Amino acid sequence: MKKLSFLMAILVSLAMAFTACEKNPNGGETPGGNDTTATPNAEVTELTGMIIYKAEPIAYIFPSFNQFHFQGLTNGATYDPSTGDCSGSGLLVEVTQAFSYVENNLPLSTEFTPFEMTADNYIKEIFPGATGGVAIYEIANGVLDEKSFLSTRDFKVKLEIGKTSVKFTIECNVEGEEYLFSFDGTPLLADISKFWREAKDEGPKFEGAETYAQAEVIYYGETGILPVNVIEVVLLSEDQTSFANFYCYGSLNDIKNVYGTFNVATEHKEGTMAKCPGLYLTEEGGYAYPSFVARNYSQSGADYYFVNAGSLTIEEGKISFDLSSLNGSKFTTNYTGNIAVKSYKEAYPNGAQKRAVVKQNAIKSQTFEVAPYNLLF
């Protein structure tokens, strides 16, 4: 599919702009990341169009914690993500690299404020509702002026997602000037992630018990992203044709304590298990990421099932689960036997394992990549 080079240029320019300090109306410079949003005295500018972009998870170990980008357009101006074409005249207002948990491809956070940056352009702290900055571009007669734009990290964004419409407001201060943009309507949704998650990409519907002969539990400890201990669970059948791989989350107080019950949830908190983000798409094919159950494995791939609900319990010498997938498949197990408990470095001395490719059934190519801020971990 065609690259969205037009929007890429916007985002690259925006990422470069955010590395600089913003001018303070009282003189000097205001470091990026200060949340000093001014009270909006400016007249409200209506956004006549809006695009919500769902990008990648912030890290593969936190698959439901995503990056989003928002674009608003004024005066009837349009942008087509599939072609990169603009039409009309107006403003393009962009909020980039907004972090939020995701549900049904939409962000759960309702407010977004700037994250704090280090001097060498790394994000200091990650939290739901953190975002990079705001940039304002001009579109004139269908042509975007990519070189002349306003940018700021002094802003606040609000997002209310209803059943049939979205309310979206941006309050920002740019070099002493106050701006207020507002959208109320139905936005265009664009999934720019390389993950693809649909029930039709799972294996044939199944209901039954899985039998495993080997079990491994890996504790990650501090990741520098979210304040939880990632606990990876791997189960493998005797003939190695069935296996399961899950991400659970425990306390950082005792990272070797991997025991307990973990409930499938959207948010990555202590006592939860990650939902499967689906298949990660590459030119070679699609790779499944935890949490998933795999059956009928061979050299050509496997039937994967994306965990969507249920729970898993780890005890001394025992692992049990009762899980369901997107297509309604249901899986249980009651493994008893040796559980190899390892640290991340012991399990992956050369880095994370290579993922197994899925069977070539429904692989969809994606369109563009975003140049994000660097993460400090």
Q: Which amino acid is at 42?
A: A
pLDDT given at position 38: 41
- Pick the more confident residue, 142 or 39: 142
pLDDT given at position 28: 34
Q: Is the predicted pLDDT of residue 211 greater than 90, yes or no?
A: yes
Mean pLDDT for the stretch of residues 107-116? 93
| Confidence bin at 163 (pLDDT 50/70/90) | confident
Mean pLDDT for the stretch of residues 178-182? 95
Secondary structure E strands in 122-278 = 122-123, 130-131, 133-140, 143-152, 155-161, 166-174, 177-185, 188-191, 195-196, 207-209, 214-219, 229-236, 243-250, 260-265, 272-274
* Average pLDDT of the chain to the nearest whole number: 82
| Confidence bin at 123 (pLDDT 50/70/90) | confident
Rounded Cα distance between 246 and 163, Å, is: 32
Q: Is the predicted pLDDT of residue 19 greater than 50, yes or no?
A: no
Q: What percentage of the chain exceeds 90 in pLDDT?
A: 60
Q: Is the predicted pLDDT of residue 94 greater than 70, yes or no?
A: yes
- Write down the residue that tokens 């990272």 correspond to: 255
pLDDT given at position 307: 97
Mean pLDDT for the stretch of residues 295-314? 92
Mean pLDDT for the stretch of residues 130-150? 89
Minimum mean pLDDT range among 108-112, 131-135, 253-257, 352-356: 352-356
Residue 17: in which H helix or E strand, if any? helix 5-18
pLDDT given at position 210: 97
Mean pLDDT for the stretch of residues 348-375? 44
Mean pLDDT for the stretch of residues 359-375? 33
Q: What is the pTM of this model?
A: 0.80
| Confidence bin at 281 (pLDDT 50/70/90) | confident
Mean pLDDT for the stretch of residues 122-140? 89
Mean pLDDT for the stretch of residues 129-138? 91
pLDDT given at position 249: 98
Q: Which of 53, 65, 131, 59 is nearest to 100 (CA)?
A: 65
Q: Is the predicted pLDDT of residue 42 greater than 80, yes or no?
A: no
Mean pLDDT for the stretch of residues 257-270? 98
